[in-house]
Chains A and B, each alone.
Chain A
Amino acid sequence: MKTKRRIEKSTIYILLIFFSLLFLAPFFWMLSTSVKSPEELYLFPPKWIPSTFEWSNFKEAWMSQPFNQFFMNTVIVTGMSTIGQLLSSSLVAYGFARFKFKGRDFLFIVLLSSMMIPWEVTMIPQYMEFNYLGWINTLKPLFVPSWFGAPFYIFLMRQFIMSIPKELDEAARMDGANPFQIYYKIYLPLMKPSLILVAVFNILTCWNDYLGPLVFLNDQSKYTLTLGLAQFKGMFGVDMEGIMAVTFLISIPPLILFFFAQRYIVEDTSRSGVKG
């Protein structure tokens, strides 16, 4: 029995390590490529650790395009979108979680089903809408819609609010607080974990978004990082080490964010979700 148990355990660890390597190898490959000299780039079998580290690759690749500008644009979009998203989604979530009104359940089902609508269907009218407003080739189409809340985040926050005991609002109402004050002064601070979770998700989504910028932006000066990187790859004579260097640089903020917020992502992602 004991040997059987031991074999079982070792198999599990071997599998865990195997898959970890599988998930990490491409990252390592990116890093190693980004500091290679052109001579070592095209070697077979590949060299995992370059004989010389060309740190200047990063600066060269970054400076060869207006990546600073792209970076600023991305920061603006991500920041504006996330602030709006947090305020509106939490407000709406509170409305769905803490009030009883006619049509509430129907509206909530509408909200959930709207997550199913493919972006292709709304893309053209949205383009026309933003064009009419004069927003094409500005950053606005990329963040203004998130000021009106997003179904998934509203859903997550609503589930979170539902888990908070209701007695809190009753006590506050006795003290004469109005519904908005209850939301703002009592619930918002309590909702910190789910606010952080939504913020992280929203930041990652904005940072990584490609299709939005692709459809709504034309001028290079308005590009976000993903668009800049895709364009960079398409350029003639750009080498892999440069592309990998930029890929690595633009992945740093999401990676850092992930390490700090890991607890929230991992523990809260679905705690509030899936259970039927």
Chain B
Amino acid sequence: MKPVYAAAAPVETIKKTKKRWDIIVPLLFIAPWIIGFLAFTLGPLLYSLFISFFDWPIVGEAKFIGLDNYKTMFTEDPLFWESLGVTVKFAALFVPLNIITSLFLAILLNQKVKGYSFFRTFFYLPSVISGVALAMIWAWVYNGEYGILNYFLSLIGVKGPDWLNNPNWALIAMVIASLWGQGTMMLIFLAGLKAIPGELYEAASIDGANKIQQFFKITIPMLTPTILFNLITTIISAFQQLTLALVLTGGGPLKSTYFYAMYVYENAFKYFKMGYSSANAWFMFVIVLVLTLIVFKSSSAWVYYEGEVKNK
């Protein structure tokens, strides 16, 4: 018995070392992300929650105040509600319009047309320069007196408003400018459309289904996973919208483009209320989280996955 026992030990050790390496090697590969995630995402995320319970000026003592920041923002700060309202209004306009226009453009491109790649390039071009440059171009397009938008409107006999200086129109102007730079979403829809097998349409037209029926019975159901993805990304980006407002209007006129993100930003870096701003930011995080969860939960009812057998 003894020799067998003795021989078994080294094998066991080798196995153990091998097992340990099986864990260490993959961890070495993903280590950069783990470190970065802890240092630049999870750490800051938790620290920001911590700060939100303090009165935390940029210089001077921080003071623990419990839930006071949250209480102030819900009950005493009209700007909180106002900016939240602006962002919700923006999202309510931008999210559906963005999904509809990018889907529409993708379908248009998917019609087996000549010059396909040219049209695709034109539609995508604005997405390449997004941000400040895009804002600059639109600042000039929207100019009330000399801008081309109002020139085009004048051609059809409409007197255009002074877009960015009119509280009724400034937010809508932002929605339009944002739609202009959303080519990525269109490309994702286009890829989704191309992935739908052609046989489905052939079978449907043999059965006598017309174009409109095909669209609602084949295209839309087959695209639902893509729609879900785009819907979530758009919601998240809508709630973080800031650059356009910072460059174009600075939140005005009459706070009509004072986005929630701008409110958070100014509380932190203009008024240096780090604790309060962190509470604002966490509230936004919770909203985005809840919205995403609602969309996800609802998706089982409307998203169709190929290969999934529906019990009916």
Q: Which residues of A contact B (CB under 8 A)?
A: 12-13, 15-16, 19-20, 23-27, 29-30, 33, 41-46, 88, 91-92, 94-96, 99, 101-102, 104, 107, 110-111, 114-129, 145, 147-149, 151, 154, 179, 183, 204, 208-211, 214-215, 226, 229-230, 233, 240, 243-244, 247, 250-251, 254-255, 257-258, 262, 265-266, 269-271, 273-276
The answer, yes or no, to whether B268 is at the interface (CB within 8 Å) is yes
In the complex, how many residues of chain B place their beta carbon closer than 8 angstroms to a beta carbon of chain A? 93
**Docked complex Cα distance between A257 and B42 (Å):** 34
Residue A208 contacts which of B45, B131, B138 (CB distance < 8 angstroms)?
B131
Contacts of B105 in A (CB 8 A): 19
**Docked complex Cα distance between A149 and B33 (Å):** 6
- Min CB–CB distance B281 → chain A (angstroms): 4
**Docked complex Cα distance between A44 and B145 (Å):** 8
Most buried by A among B43, B129, B269, B274: B129
B129–A251 CB distance below 8 A: yes
Q: For chain B, what secondary structure do more than half of its interface residues adopt (helix, strand, loop), or is it mixed?
A: helix
B41–A23 CB distance below 8 A: no
A208–B132 CB distance below 8 A: yes
**Docked complex Cα distance between A262 and B132 (Å):** 22
Contacts of B268 in A (CB 8 A): 123-124, 127
B187–A269 CB distance below 8 A: yes
The answer, yes or no, to whether B302 is at the interface (CB within 8 Å) is no
Residue B44 contacts which of A33, A101, A121 (CB distance < 8 angstroms)?
A121
**Docked complex Cα distance between A45 and B153 (Å):** 11
Apart from A19-B105, A19-B108, 18 more pairs, CB < 8 Å? A24-B122, A91-B29, A101-B23, A116-B288, A121-B281, A122-B45, A123-B265, A123-B281, A125-B47, A179-B29, A208-B129, A210-B243, A210-B247, A230-B246, A244-B140, A251-B133, A269-B187, A274-B188
Contacts of A122 in B (CB 8 A): 40-41, 44-45, 48
- Min CB–CB distance B88 → chain A (angstroms): 15
Which of the 9-residue segments B1-9, B113-121, B198-206 touches chain A?
A: B113-121
Q: Which residues of B contact A (CB under 8 A)?
A: 22-23, 25-30, 32-37, 39-45, 47-48, 51, 105, 108-109, 111, 113, 115, 118-126, 128-133, 136-141, 143, 145-146, 148, 151, 154, 180, 184, 187-188, 191-192, 195, 225-226, 229, 236, 239-240, 242-243, 246-247, 261, 264-265, 268-269, 274, 277-278, 280-282, 284-285, 288-289, 292, 303, 305-306
B141–A29 CB distance below 8 A: yes
A125–B30 CB distance below 8 A: no
- Min CB–CB distance A153 → chain B (angstroms): 10
Residue A94 contacts which of B29, B265, B281 (CB distance < 8 angstroms)?
B29
A211–B242 CB distance below 8 A: yes
Contacts of B28 in A (CB 8 A): 95
B123–A119 CB distance below 8 A: no
- Min CB–CB distance B276 → chain A (angstroms): 10
Closest-by-CB residue of A relative to B226 is A274
A254–B151 CB distance below 8 A: no
- Min CB–CB distance B166 → chain A (angstroms): 18
B51–A229 CB distance below 8 A: no
**Docked complex Cα distance between A94 and B26 (Å):** 9
**Docked complex Cα distance between A275 and B305 (Å):** 9
**Docked complex Cα distance between A261 and B162 (Å):** 38
B26–A95 CB distance below 8 A: yes
B137–A26 CB distance below 8 A: yes
10 pairs of A and B residues whose beta carbons are closest in the complex: A148-B36, A95-B29, A125-B44, A99-B26, A276-B225, A122-B44, A270-B191, A208-B131, A95-B30, A125-B47
